[in-house]
Homo-oligomer: A and B are copies of this chain.
Amino acid sequence: MPSIDTASLRTLFDPQSVAIIGASSDPVKIGGRPIDNMKIAGFQGRLIPVNARSKEIQGLPAVPSLRDVDEPVDMAVIVVPQPAVRDAVAACIEKGVQSAIILSSGFAEIDAAGAEEQHRIAAMAREGGLRLIGPNCMGTMNANTGMIATFTNLAGIKPQTGGICIASQSGAFGAHCYTVMRERGYGLNLWATMGNQCDVDFSDCVAYMAQDPNTDVVMGYMEGITDAGKLIEALEIAQKHKKPIVLMKVGTSEVGSAAAASHTASLTGSDAVFDAVLRKYDVYRARTYDEMFDVAYACTAKKFPTKRDLGVITVSGGVGVIMADAAHEKGFELPPLPESTQKRMKAMVPFAGTRNPLDVTAQLVNDPAIMQPMFEALLGDGNYTNAICFMASVGLNPVMMEKLHPAFEAVATQFRDRLITFSALTRYETRLPLEKLGYLVYEDPARAINAMAAMVHFGEAFYGGRVRQEPPALPPNAPKVQPGVQVNEFDAKKMLAAAGVPVVDERIEQSADAAASAAMEIGFPVVMKIVSPDIQHKSEIGGVLLNIGSEAEAAAGFDTLMERGRKAAPAARLEGVLIAPMVQGGVETIIGVQRDPVFGPVVMFGLGGIFVEVLKDVTFRTAPFGLDVAHEMIRSVRGYPMLEGVRGAPPSDVDALAAALAQVSAFAAANADTLESIDLNPVLVRPKGEGCVAVDALIVARSD
């Protein structure tokens, strides 16, 4: 059952009529600003100021209460003081209003009493079928309809419309983003801030925005998340609609904060888990706000290439090299132009660099006519999916830009499917004609290339033909982890083996004969250990025998071990002798599972030894996942070459390792409610075709 009902959120973003409960005549007051904003933005719906003391507010007829409105009201903006909010919400329910934005503060952000009042209001609204956003928020906007239900200062300027949505948990940051967009001239679709999230939360807004046909991209700012299921649902909706999400997630989240003592936990950290979730859903995580805007803006071109090639055309050879360096760093290839094209270009501009970058040189300024044939050659003959054109300061020269416009238009028309950025100093007037042709314009070429790499990231995710593989099935009778029941090492291995995870084949036997035949079945050499809950340090009493090579040795070994056990600890309970294969060689890896309080079981993979201990070279994904994700995880660690074979070692059985990893994820997911952690360390990966095997295993059940 989905927990996000986007239909019920419609009136928060697209109401036909909006009541302002607590409307003020002063356009700069919190109760006056939304009205002023909607007037500035030309809101086409009905705007109904509710104020008990005025008949007219900012030129609009006001009503003393919602009851006095003679037609249905879609949405209410509540700006009354905290103690009056509950009544306002009740009035909304009574009137059949569909949703309300509570801008008022004084709730959970203040104290327990405030939290209680907020909780009461939320319950009331839920029962009355009213969706609520806030309290203590900055409201919502719809740039297309001029519905600006916020006290953010628009500075007298109507928002520019476009395909970018903003969802921000922080009102102040949301308002700042709005202004940054305006300053950069980027077009807005929807905008929302959620404040205390008593009902509608970040995930709801992201989901609504993602399914809106006018949306090109959702830009999100998060500080923390409490309902992981809803977030994942929202990300799945975005994925389904192929809508890119660009996110800034800051600070220490609540997720994964339980500082569990196990090895895996100490490496998990909450941010790593969050990162794993974002990666799974192809969200682009921006590290700075410049990057967030750069990437969101790029999405508005609606071109998401699946190829990572790049054609470069430049007026400066030096910047050509800068761009080649930056592109290389972002994984782009710069294949050279065909020889024949290069010859043709040289004939046109003798000093031109013609390989790729194609350097048109300062000759462009003397002879703008060379732009079109050269730019066409780049995209036509070079056939690059992605291209960047560096124009230095030419973008500041309107006369030059006008002269070059036909060339830019011809290229844009002929190569509509290509992702092309311009890097140049520009003014809004010189930038706009380029953007209208479908080009993206950046000043710094490195930022343009970074944004292009992000577009390929989305392209590969949405259009790369990738079909996520299903997690593997568990065997029909796979054991279940029981809550509160301690699992010993031996049983942990048995459980994992029964769940289809390759673990060493161990037996416990009670007689010399049985030990000998067990050893035979396992295959020599074997290792034998005394089994007793009362003997902690087995090797100290000689309770471990290595490298047993025959049936006879195994039988004798049994007797030796039992005797040493009895001698060393006469009172000890001897449960028998454990027989296991001597596992040697292979590459040491680790597979771990740690329950995250928000996202459930999270699977960790890393190479063993120094890779995990010194270099913290590990990766995470939420469980379960299929073989494809398992392979992605394995390839993503820095130490991956170890598995490909170094120093003459043969390549390891990565397929078997991926299968084990996916299988563990399936087992973890099936036991999500009862499992605290799993630790398979080491998992030895043998040469290709010879499989992998977990040598030691720990399972910790949840205590409750």
Contact = CB atoms under 8 A, between A and B. Distances in A.
A498 to B, nearest CB: 32
Nearest to A179: B393
Nearest to A289: B444
B288 A318 contact: no
B613 A638 contact: no
A113 interface: no
A176 B641 contact: no
A183 B647 contact: no
A425 interface: yes
B444 A172 contact: no
B392 A613 contact: no
Interface stretch (A319-327, A407-415, A567-575): A319-327
B321 A179 contact: no
A63 B113 CA distance: 90
A67 B287 CA distance: 63
Contacts of A402: none
A176 B393 contact: yes
Interface in A2-37: none
B179 A392 contact: yes
Contact of A180 (B325, B362, B425): B425
A290 B288 CA distance: 14
A614 interface: yes
Contacts of A362: 172
A315 interface: yes
Contacts of A361: 172
B250 A316 contact: no
A27 to B, nearest CB: 15
Given A425-B179, A425-B183, A289 B446 contact: yes
Interface string A171-182: 011011001100
Interface in A395-439: 396, 425
A677 interface: no
B290 A172 contact: no
A110 B351 CA distance: 8
Contacts of A444: 288-290
A652 interface: no
A647 B613 CA distance: 8
Contacts of A290: 443-444, 446-447
Given A446-B287, A610-B639, A250 B172 contact: no
Contacts of A180: 425, 443
A646 B396 contact: no
B447 A288 contact: yes
B168 A318 contact: yes
A642 interface: yes
Nearest to A326: B288
A632 interface: no
A88 to B, nearest CB: 22
Contacts of A287: 446
A155 interface: yes
Contact of A641 (B288, B445, B614, B641): B614
Given A318-B168, A318-B221, A321-B223, A639 B613 contact: no
Contact of A319 (B173, B179, B393, B610): B173
A170 B318 contact: yes
Contact of A392 (B155, B176, B393, B638): B176
A59 interface: no
A549 interface: no
A669 B228 CA distance: 60
Contacts of A613: 646-647
Contact of A325 (B169, B172, B250, B638): B250
15 contacts: A109-B351, A110-B351, A170-B317, A170-B318, A172-B319, A173-B322, A176-B425, A179-B425, A180-B443, A221-B318, A250-B318, A287-B446, A289-B322, A290-B444, A614-B642
